[in-house]
Structure 1
Amino acid sequence: MDDARTSSLANDQAGYRGLRDWIEKVDDLGELLRIDNASWDAEMGSITQMMTEKSRGNAPALLFDNVPGYDQGFRTLYGSLSSVRRVALTLGLPLEHERKVDIVRRYYDRMQDMELIPPKFVETGPVMENIMEGDDIDVLKFPVPRHHEQDKARYIGTANCVITQDPDNGSFNCGTYRNQVYDAKTIGCQITEGKHGRIHRDKYFERGEECKFVILVGE
């Protein structure tokens, strides 16, 4: 990619809205590989592993579409953060960083004077356009992958965001925890000891209460 194109992308890189826009910007960077007709059953994971192992730390993001048994547009994204530039893009940092340590230092510096953004409650938006409730719920409507041949199940949550709320003080936590799909209407959430999501969960369970949480996938 020429310097002028890189400079233009660097100036515009902080403005992405959601995963679809992020994918377009990664495509503009030349770091997106589109793959059709890969199976959800270990094939996506195998392709990603091979691409990552031979890339020497600069593998492209892999966007799988036309998954057998699913409609076009029901896609799966792998390797979103497998390059330094994509990490920079995701964090809203300049794209010229070439070393991981530079990303860490720059983000650490920015966090020192970070201003919190209050939530905005809305009544409309993309997140409300497709709603499934009750008997209509079917998690397996999506090409949920079994990542590895030794996995015993399919996992919809790996690069996800799980939101829980502390029942004592009302504070929220966002964490990344694995979500196994047991059937079309049942998802498990594995949270190891010491994590804030686990602390919240244990508080509810100790009281004999349900622990409600939100799983964000593909946003």
Structure 2
Amino acid sequence: MKISQLYDQLEMYSEGDPPSHSLFVLARLLGTPDRLLIIDPPDDAATRFDVAEESAALFTSAARDVGLPLVQTQPGGIAHINVGRHLLDIYSQQHANLICFPAMGIICGGSFGSDLALPELGEDSNGEDEIESLRLLARLVKGRRLQLYIPRTGSVSSDKVEVMGRLAADVSYFHGLRRTVSQAVAENKFWSQSEQITETLLPENRRTPPALTTHRQNVERLYNAMVA
């Protein structure tokens, strides 16, 4: 477990191997109750941490029940919210929320742009929304000052070139997945080739048990979306 003070009233909590990251955004203003926003909180956040009376959770992918109220987002929308002295831009996609702190150059990319984990397909997704999310992230990284890119799992980075390379690798992974699964479905060979598809499309630098679990889930979800 590691807690990093990024800025005043902004901390990153990291744990596990590979590390998973949660961001704690605190609003502490004289004469008002403390407010706390936790981005991608761990499952036991409400009981493990001494959370503020007014606390909420915001997830970069599918929300989970962590015992805290959820920030409601609208797919296709952009929300600008203040938590104390911090301004957040929330770009909501169908299956992801991409979060930017424009004044500080911090971007939370969720399952995208990791050096250790694979990007995730959302439930019932054919991959188009994820590819569009990656394109949006690339525009944000290229068009803004980048102080820190924080994937939900993996190493953080302040190197634009490195982050752009990670995002490009994710796009390539999804394109390969869509092309191969689509062809197998069209030829009615998916089930006879499913193990081969899983093996050949798993990137060499992601051959770990957690990445394999994500990869199998992605293949299954893509197949289900294509035959629905």
Per the normalisation by structure 1, the TM-score is 0.22
Relative to total residues, which structure has the larger strand share, 1 or 2? 2
Per the normalisation by structure 2, the TM-score is 0.21
